[in-house]
Structure 1
């Protein structure tokens, strides 16, 4: 055969690839477009998605407990793997607010660091389930509630199963109480993630009155600043009593592994100490047993358990320079009011105006109740019994903390917002 030349066309008619006609009737592969904010390959049945997400959230919050308690039991002596895992399940349930019934009495002091970890994982579970059912960006409250409720149901089943396993050992846990508590915690945690990923939060932000929206934002800022101040004061107190804390840890005689585990257990209760310290700065204080009080004006405690976290308790009433700490809550409220005014000034500057007094004062006043609810709820979950008898009451009184926080933050925010507004120059 002779080579193909321009004078001798090939079977394709002598046309190059660019010159050949395109068969427009040829079938093309079609990719379905995503629906309802989800990807066509990422859809999954609600029950499957919720079960997998709830199980993964439970596992990732359970494993750290197993490791920490494994270190503690390793320091105390030989322990069976089954016993360690069962004890870790009891600790996991306690981190969700499920009380334990032991031979020494009820144990209900929740390690809030574990609670925060569990809520974070549940938030991610809500995000994953919402994506799996195609609800991303739909702004549908119904679909967000559906995803959160499904995660709550799956988490309730896991909580009841964990309670049954714990009940075969030492501690006694009510499966019904465990299921109900885990259902509430699971649904609330997942709802935060579902509302964010479905853009329901944006929908609510557009429908809430501006004064209330800014007040909620300012109140949350003030509450978090107060908790930060309390955490700093608690850390300073523990650092000051670091020698006593080290002696308490060394007195356990559990070896390096056991002492590391005890330290980690103490860190799990660090958020509790931060909330108690915040209550101390606000005035109501807290209790470390029945008929005890730790306030700026009074410190009345008896014999305390050898817990490193209690090494930073004050020795007596606050006086001298320490009394200046009492001004911290008011200053926090003023800072929140200043931030509120600065934010409103930036928004008003786009219209070459200044913030309206009515909106500013209403937002600052609303910040007080918001911060009060936040701190009151934190105080409520930070306390609990440490057994029967004298240690049946530990922690602050929630309604007192909420009431004082409301008054202090509202007054401070109003003062800070008004002063900043007066000193702010009108745009030219």
Structure 2
């Protein structure tokens, strides 16, 4: 009888008790069933998720305002912590497009840098709430809208509270206007993040016809290129007038901290200046007060407030080499048309026949209205009153900017797309006769 060897290695092909096949019932008990839309253990109630996300978005967009205005008021002996926080709350409301009522008249010129920050945080809030309710990659428009609406409602409550707190001081804000504005802004911004994280954006893109997708893409590219050109022109103008801007900052007599705060406040209005500069390049220009105009053909301004950002205003009409600035909008459209033609040629491939002219020119023509709508809305939100006096009208006229941009970008995109196709067309291969 052979001795028993318990440590003997298992023979090749042998099956242990753990490797034996099990029936479906046993496997179902061992392996948990997959859960659609994420794990229920990681989900949070919708009101809780929306409240936390909206509160965090509000806090992260409010704190920079409080810090900047705290620096501005640091050199003021009469400033208190409560007053600084209340003033920062008023600036936070203004950044969302809620006008303020002051002793000097209405104040409605929103600092768009703060607006962009708030919109970005609200977009992230839509993403976080969609994840919390298990709607990630669900492709459900209903759940995306549900998450965005919850964020909008929570954000509207915060706007109402902010308007009530601001009203206890010298500055006032309409509580109803604040609630409605915050609800609309919060819902729309959160909807952008919610549709992206739930993959609803893919459904919308797939639903649109291909010429519409190409036209929207080209119009957005052209509009952003023109805004970038406007930002560059505004930065160059402010740098050229840097001496005047430094004198204006020094005239406030607020110390180093206060001057740093004033510089940051001016930087918060830098996007406004970029949009105004874009309107200047397009031709309609903008106003810095009632019965004033800043255009390439005319500069008519009166006494201006000591704002460093206004140090870069042109002194007179454009002449000489400066007239080349008038070609910038057309060049932006041509670049967008060139990118459109190159992309369509790349997707077609060398083995396929060239696309018809209509398939190329239709998106190029659609780019004009898309860019016009983008720049028109930007012009509207970039302006507003700075009091009840002669500064009651500041900024460009939205419909004028939109109409001119639509026409100029459409012409430029058509020229760029057509020229690119003509210059890069490859001759059809010829067959050698036998």
Is the pair's TM-score, using the shorter chain for normalization, greater than 0.5?
yes
Q: Could you tell me how far apart the structure 2 residues matched to 1:71 and 1:237 are? A: 26
What residue in structure 1 maps to residue 34 of structure 2? Answer: 33
3-state SS of 2:42 partner: coil
Deviates more, 1:346-355 or 1:396-405: 346-355
What residue in structure 2 maps to residue 3 of structure 1? Answer: none
CA distance change for structure 1 residues 182 and 21 in 2, over 3 Å: closer, same or farther?
A: same
* Deviation, structure 1 residue 258: 0.1
Q: Could you tell me how far apart the structure 1 residues matched to 2:154 and 2:33 are? A: 31
The 5 A counterparts of 1:9-408 are 14=6, 21-22=17-18, 30-36=31-37, 38-349=38-349, 352-408=352-408
What residue in structure 1 maps to residue 432 of structure 2? Answer: none
For residues 182-201 of structure 1, give each alpha carbon's deviation from its aligned partner in whole angstroms, at most 9, with x where no partner exists: 00110111011011111111
Q: Could you tell me how far apart the structure 2 residues matched to 1:229 and 1:137 are? A: 37
3-state SS of 1:281 partner: helix
Q: Could you tell me how far apart the structure 2 residues matched to 1:251 and 1:364 are? A: 50
Q: Could you tell me how far apart the structure 1 residues matched to 2:294 and 2:171 are? A: 31
3-state SS of 1:41 partner: helix
Contact 1:110 1:382 in 2 (8 A): yes
CA distance change for structure 1 residues 351 and 213 in 2, over 3 Å: closer, same or farther?
A: farther
- After superposition, the CA RMSD in angstroms is 1.9
3-state SS of 2:101 partner: strand
Q: Could you tell me how far apart the structure 2 residues matched to 1:304 and 1:290 are? A: 12
Q: Which runs of 5+ in 1 are unaligned?
A: 1-5
* Deviation, structure 1 residue 76: 2.5
3-state SS of 2:54 partner: helix
* Deviation, structure 1 residue 21: 3.4
Q: Could you tell me how far apart the structure 2 residues matched to 1:306 and 1:205 are? A: 48
- The aligned length equals 418
What residue in structure 2 maps to residue 412 of structure 1? Answer: 412
Contact 1:32 1:40 in 2 (8 A): no
For residues 94-131 of structure 1, give each alpha carbon's deviation from its aligned partner in whole angstroms, at most 9, with x where no partner exists: 00000000000000000000000000000000111111
For residues 138-163 of structure 1, give each alpha carbon's deviation from its aligned partner in whole angstroms, at most 9, with x where no partner exists: 11111111111111000000000010
For residues 327-380 of structure 1, give each alpha carbon's deviation from its aligned partner in whole angstroms, at most 9, with x where no partner exists: 000011000000000010110017523232111100000000000000000000
3-state SS of 2:305 partner: coil
Q: Could you tell me how far apart the structure 2 residues matched to 1:422 and 1:34 are? A: 55
CA distance change for structure 1 residues 17 and 188 in 2, over 3 Å: closer, same or farther?
A: farther
